Structure 1
């Protein structure tokens, strides 16, 4: 949580941006408080076969999963009810709904498909979750898919609207192996991939002198 000390630097907010393509109007979820920690699990995608020379082969970028907890509290808004009528009326229901829709297809598409099915039409459009981008600072913008979401509603107002919420999230990073080149998320991932190599090279430049005399080749 950011410090109240006036001389503290302004902390950049993390968040999620979800697009229901082809619409370019996103759902934006800005973290009220940045998570205190983010856990990242990276597992290799091994190539098939166990012959000589296969030990270093991969089947593409590794599987990466990020898990963290988002805290949402309506206390500040409820202290100024005249300026926050929606929070007074609905509590944190809108924020919860925004998180939950990351796992849902478009309601309009579902309704259209149901109407087509009732009309006896066999072909229906694919129901897809939105393209979601995790924005965690300028050096980490990743296309992700919501894998799991556990919401804990911890306090309620007199109308039983939730006013304090904790959400445990698990996000799978979508790589160039998961996305079509026509999907904007593909190019977001490739940009992050290229940036990762640049950052790794910067680390090598700063560390080379400390280990250069130990290098075997």
Structure 2
């Protein structure tokens, strides 16, 4: 599955987990960019928020108010294949197959071992208040216009082939990512600031497109006016 040298060089998507306790970020580069991606957006309205609280006496104005950016989920399929690395006699691929790549992905959903052991020790020592384990800030990077804080909502792994030692050497991974906005993170945080930058970029692109459309309509209208 090697890329032809005549093919244009493409940016590769990535998932990056930034852990404040670990200066070495977990970087997952897509071996092959997914051909498709599904995005689902659900509006976040004041009416829906109040209804969730059991309040039914909503006036029309309240029902139409937006309480924040839409809730967004991203679904995609990643392909992981050790064929090229096995042909190059890569030591890690020969010994472990694609276990390391899958482990990097799966660890996005695991607490850090040190945190688990620390909390266990504190519990045995009788500590009344144990701080919940904080997940690293996970970023979905898909080109310069999409750098989004996300949370892995679900992960489904289909292992497709194995080597003689039963190490997986080829797999498809279905990922569902929940985009985190400044409604989920503090606006002053890195994740909140990145989402706000994403929203501002969208507003600018939408304005540019609207201006282009207005210009096209104006030209069309001018061309339809009969000359006297």
Q: Same fold (TM over 0.5)?
A: yes
Structure having the larger proportion of residues in helix: 2
* Distance in 2 of aligned mates of 1:107 and 1:80: 34
Point out where structure 2 has 5 or more consecutive residues left out of the alignment. 48-56, 222-228
- CA separation of 1:182/1:197 partners in 2, compared to 1, >3 Å: closer, same or farther? closer
Does the CA contact (< 8 Å) of 1:40 and 1:67 recur in 2? yes
* Distance in 2 of aligned mates of 1:62 and 1:131: 20
* Distance in 1 of aligned mates of 2:3 and 2:103: 29
Q: 2:169 aligns with which of 163, 169, 173?
A: 163
* Distance in 2 of aligned mates of 1:112 and 1:162: 33
Does the CA contact (< 8 Å) of 1:20 and 1:106 recur in 2? no
Does the CA contact (< 8 Å) of 2:2 and 2:84 recur in 1? no
Q: CA deviation at 1:206?
A: 2.0
Equivalent in the alignment of 1:37: 36
Point out where structure 1 has 5 or more consecutive residues left out of the alignment. none
- TM-score when scaled to structure 2? 0.86
Q: 2:184 aligns with which of 151, 169, 178?
A: 178
* Distance in 1 of aligned mates of 2:2 and 2:83: 16
* Distance in 1 of aligned mates of 2:91 and 2:21: 32
Larger radius of gyration: 2
Give SS of 1:59's match.
strand
2:193 aligned with 1:187, yes or no? yes
Does the CA contact (< 8 Å) of 1:146 and 1:170 recur in 2? yes
Q: CA RMSD in A?
A: 1.9
User: Where does 1:11-90 land on structure 2 (aligned, <5 Å)?
Assistant: 11-48=10-47, 50-81=58-89, 84-90=90-96
Does the CA contact (< 8 Å) of 1:46 and 1:57 recur in 2? yes
Q: CA deviation at 1:37?
A: 0.4
Q: How many residues align?
A: 211
Structure having the larger proportion of residues in strand: 2
* Distance in 1 of aligned mates of 2:168 and 2:45: 45
Does the CA contact (< 8 Å) of 1:2 and 1:11 recur in 2? no
The structure 1 segments of at least 4 consecutive aligned residues displaced by more than 6 Å after TM superposition are none
